[in-house]
Amino acid sequence: MARAPRPRSPWRRRLSLALKLLVVAALLALAALITAVYVTRAQLPSFEQLKSSPNGQMIRVHAADGTVIVSMGPSYGDWLSYDRIPKVMRDATIAVEDRRFNSHIGVDPIGVARSVQVRLSRGRWVQGGSTITQQLARNVFLNNQKKFGRKFREWILALAMERKFSKDEILELYLNKVYYGGGAYGIDAASRKFFGHGADHLSLPEAAIIAGLVKAPSNYSPTADAAAAVGRASVVLQAMQDNGMISAGEATAADPKSVALAPEPKQNSVRYFTDWALPQLELLIDETEKPLEVWTTLDLNMQRDADAAVRANAPNGAQGALVALDRDGAVRAMVGGKDYVSSIYNRATQAERQPGSAFKLFVYLAALEAGKTPESTEIDEPVTIDGWSPRNDSRRNSGQVTLRTAFAYSLNTIAAKLGQQVGFATVADMARRFGITTTVNTHPSMVLGTSDVRLIDMTRAFASVANQGVAVTPYGILKVTANNEVIYQHQVDRSRVLVAPQVAAQMIDLLQTAVNTGTGRAAQIGRPVAGKTGTTSSSKDGWFLGFSSGLTTGVWMGRDDAKPIAGLHGGTAPARAWHDFMIKAVANRPIEQFETQVTLPEAQLEPDAESYYGGPDNGLFVDPDGNPVTGGIPGAGAGDRQPPRSEHLEIDDDGNPIIPSPQPERLDQDWIDRVTGRDARRDQRRPVNPAPGNRQPPPNYSTEPRPNQ
């Protein structure tokens, strides 16, 4: 009799049910995975779309001649199709990043298992087991967060990409889009950055260096750590040999140490200009994704000459700045300091310093607009305004003089009188009208330049005078293109008239005298020049601003900590730097005569002190904050309340003026004639603008001793 089958135990029934449920769950998961992969595949961009999509916005900045001077943001280089990518580059990448690339389905189970094993043994994720396809998916669609949710999406994308694209297409996308450090995306950008040539003819050791960068671009960059880059390249070569891609002899012969690296571009003074110009893009355009080509006004030859002029003439321990504006406001050169690498502070656009007598431009503009002319006369005599008593640097008064003479010799008493007549607020308004953006005080001493200004603003003001009183606005960006489409084009605004043309012409008349016979003679360049010097108390700042042949240039020199600099005056180092720059900058421009020919001032007056021994021209009775010192000199008798005969008023630790030793009442006229090279009887007959070959150089102030000293 047959025995009945034994009933299965409950635990076996439960196990069988669990296995069935597990199989069903696995099948459902597989179905869900397949569905997700194919849904994702349908949503993926096409190959051509992926080729054109950027990794970030790139900005290339061009000089006026089209030369690329700065590249910012990511750099892409040329797109290399699969057949243009050297085989050694493809092999090196596969060997070190994904040796089973040609056999897996987008996710490498062996690599994942090895990654999990290392995770369990070390207690942390050391290697992710990511395939080239996964890395491409992460770089294009995801981020680098180490979270399982991101990793799962990465797997789905990688599987979908393998269903949509061929292995060759995936490798082409990867090699053209992966980040290699230094802002370089793709092998061509990396090759050009590190080796100075395109990636279509990479050598074996060069390919090994680039392939080794992907793991940690900042650690293995050859420009940052050459030894680390060589060591990593050796690992790549060994991996290629292990995978049979190269022989042992080829691996030995490929010496990464022998690879010549492209020199890193120097951070020269061009960066002062780009640091000023590029932030303006936010106000000019809205494009934030497409690569931009920015075309600027910068003239590289002028920039080089400006840099050399500042470095050659700035006194030891001093900084210098220069701005050159074309007649329409185009910035042709900008130097913000002697060395951009050591200091990125742009003294041409950011520093605020006292301009000294250069500020008299606005005093005389206000006076001319009020009806004065260069031939108008004023009495050069002692003057006191609200307790402030300015004195001329020549230590004397000359009686009745024309405004032309007063401006040429920088007579402080006349500037004070003119300011009082037109109103100090009117002078401040004139300064703001001409583009001074800093605060201008209305103390009487403001006529001598005690308000802080910026060099670019002062240069703009002089350029507007040169432009017949029409406002000149500095600009650095000519146009911006995105994918060869012009999205911004600068338009010059010539509609803002600041002063009447005849006022500007009269001001130019005055400015010419300062260069021909006054404090700015060192700026003569053999063609018509109009300009003005400026020197502040204790020789803390020196300025020269002027124009010729349609180009206006401003130069400032001084210390960043505003300490005095012996021998620094507007008519010396700044004027010489202006001369050295301008004589080259305008060499190929036609000589332009001003509408008003220069008329020399009265010859019987001696120049202001700065003209021959460098006295400052604004420091009398002004405290360190630029406020007038009232009430005379503390401790002096009633008859001694006139300012001392000194080049400036030094202040002691208690804030009181330091009274220097008396100076002679009058300088010997024969000595003045010898030092300045001026004979009063011949002054009116000398050529106004002699040819360069016939022009005598500015006098050397140190060759003859001063009398009565």
342 catalytic residue (yes or no): no
164: helix, strand or coil: helix
Q: Which of 90, 130, 125 is nearest to 110 (CA)?
A: 130
Q: How many Å apart are CA 480 and CA 482, to the nearest integer?
A: 7
Q: How many Å apart are CA 509 and CA 498, to the nearest integer?
A: 18
97 catalytic residue (yes or no): yes
Q: Which of 269, 303, 320, 311 is nearest to 570 (CA)?
A: 320
DSSP secondary-structure letter at 462? H
Q: How many Å apart are CA 614 and CA 564, to the nearest integer?
A: 13
Pairing of strands 292-296, 59-62: parallel
The structure tokens listed for 182 are 């230094």
Q: How many Å apart are CA 242 and CA 676, to the nearest integer?
A: 84
Bridge partner residues of 295 (DSSP): 62, 479
End-to-end CA distance of the chain: 147
Q: Which of 609, 527, 616 is nearest to 570 (CA)?
A: 616
The structure tokens listed for 225 are 């750590």
Q: Which of 266, 245, 263, 243 is nearest to 254 (CA)?
A: 245
Q: How many Å apart are CA 351 and CA 336, to the nearest integer?
A: 9
Q: How many Å apart are CA 407 and CA 361, to the nearest integer?
A: 9
Which member of 191, 221, 269, 357 is catalytic?
357
Query: Contact at 8 Å (CB) between 440 and 258?
Result: no
- Distances, alpha carbon 257 to alpha carbons 191, 205, 222, 232, in Å: 16, 9, 10, 11
Q: How many Å apart are CA 386 and CA 384, to the nearest integer?
A: 7
Q: Which of 322, 287, 349, 277 is nearest to 61 (CA)?
A: 277
The beta strand positions in 230-387, using DSSP E, are 292-296, 319-326, 331-335, 377-380
Query: Contact at 8 Å (CB) between 431 and 423?
Result: no
> Tokens 């051509």 — which residue?
48
Q: How many Å apart are CA 412 and CA 446, to the nearest integer?
A: 11
Query: Contact at 8 Å (CB) between 528 and 591?
Result: yes
Half-sphere CA count of 219, side-chain side, radius 13 A: 7
| 3-state per-residue secondary structure call for 604-626 | CCCCCHHHCCCCCCCCCCECCCC
Bridge partner residues of 532 (DSSP): 545
391: helix, strand or coil: coil
Q: How many Å apart are CA 244 and CA 102, to the nearest integer?
A: 14
Q: How many Å apart are CA 19 and CA 31, to the nearest integer?
A: 18
H/E element, 276: helix 270-277
Q: Which of 208, 259, 216 is nearest to 233 (CA)?
A: 208
> Tokens 């010097």 — which residue?
533
Residues in the chain: 709
Query: Contact at 8 Å (CB) between 54 and 74?
Result: yes
- Distances, alpha carbon 608 to alpha carbons 30, 108, 134, 530, in Å: 95, 86, 77, 18
Query: Contact at 8 Å (CB) between 168 and 47?
Result: no
Bridge partner residues of 319 (DSSP): 558
The residues assigned a catalytic role are: 97, 357
